Amino acid sequence: MPRVLSSIGPLAPDAGGDLLASAGVELRFAPKGGKTPVAELIELLQGCVATIAGGEPYTREVFAARPELAHIARFGVGFDAVDVAGATEAGVVLSTVVGTLDDAVADLTFGLILDVARGISRDDRRVRQGRWMREMTVEVTGKTLGIVGLGRIGRAVARRAGAFRMRVLATEPYPDRAFVAEHGITLAPLERLLAESDFVSLHAPLMPETEGLMNAERLALMRPGAFLINVARGRLVDEAALEAALRAGRIAGAGLDVRAEEPPRDTRFLDLDNVVLTPHVASNTVETRRAMARMAAENVARVLRGERPGGLINPEAWERRARGAG
C-alpha cells in the first residue's frame, strides 16, 4: 500500500478522497498550522512515495534523507518552497494545481482594486466607530490597469477589467498573443506600465529575478494617485520601500493579500487607512479549495498509475521516472 503524506488534512470524497481510496493509498497527516520544520518533515515523510504539500520546505536535505519520495503534489500553483533543481536531480516529480484557482484569485484582486479605490474597508471601520465621514474617492471604470504577469490568473484579471472598460497594460515575457489581441491589451515594459497605470496588480511568480521586484526605484515610477495590488507572493515587494512610499504619499494606496513573512510579525501597515490587508485568502473559497484538493489527489493517483500529472513543473524528473531511471 503506497503511503502519502497530506499537509492539508483529510480529503472529503468529492475533494479527492475517493481517488486516493481507489488508489489504495495509506494517508499520513502533517500537523496543521504553520510551516513544518525540515527535521519534522523528514520524520513525517518516512516511507512516503508522495506528498500533498502545503508551504513546508522541500530541500536537498529532505530529498537526500527520503530517497523513496517520488512526487510532490503541490496544493497550490506556487512552488517557491520547493528546491526545484534539487527535486529534479533527485528524480522527484513536482506538480501543481494549475487552473483551479484562477477565478477566485482574480475575484479577490478586483475586490481589492474596488476597495482601495472607493475606501470601502476604511469607511466600514469609521461607521462602526460612530464616525460618519464622507471622503472623495476615485472610480475604477475607465482607468488604466497594469498587470505584471499575464499568465492564467493575470488573464482572468484582464477579463474582469473589460467589464469596467479599463485600458489594460501588461508585462509578460511569454504572452499569449491571441489573448492579447482579443482583449485589446497593450504589452509594455515594466517601466512604462508603472508610469501609466492607475492600478498595478502583481501576478508574477516568485523567482530570484522577481524577488524585490517592486523596490524603491520602481515604486517611484508609479503615479502619485496609483494603487499597488499584490495577491501573488509577498517577497515580490520591498515592504520597507512600500511603507515609505505610502507614508510619503508617493502612491495612493495598496491592497495586500500576501506578505514577505506570513503571518507578519511587524505592524508596519496597520495604522495606514489607505492599505487593505487580507491574510493570504485569495484562493480560500469552498469551490476552489475543493477543486485544488481534488486535482492534487488526482495528480498523486496519476503518478502512482505511471501517468503524467497535470501542472507538471519539472518534466525532466518525470521523464527519468517514466524511463525507470529515477
Is 126 marked active-site? no
- The catalytic position among 262, 289, 308, 319 is 262
- The catalytic position among 118, 160, 280, 289 is 280
| Residue 165 DSSP one-character state | T
10 Å Cβ neighbour count for 89? Answer: 15
10 Å Cβ neighbour count for 12? Answer: 12
- Alpha-carbon gap, residue 178 to 203, rounded angstroms: 19
Q: CB-side exposure of 59: number of CA atoms within 13 Å?
A: 10
- The catalytic position among 233, 259, 320, 321 is 233
Is 265 marked active-site? no
Helix (H, G, I), strand (E, B) or coil at 293: helix
- Alpha-carbon gap, residue 99 to 165, rounded angstroms: 25
> C-alpha grid cell for residue 113?
482594486
- Alpha-carbon gap, residue 82 to 90, rounded angstroms: 12
- Measured over the CA atoms of residue 250, residue 268, residue 81 and residue 14, the dihedral's sign is negative
Is 250 marked active-site? no
Active site (catalytic) residues: 233, 262, 280
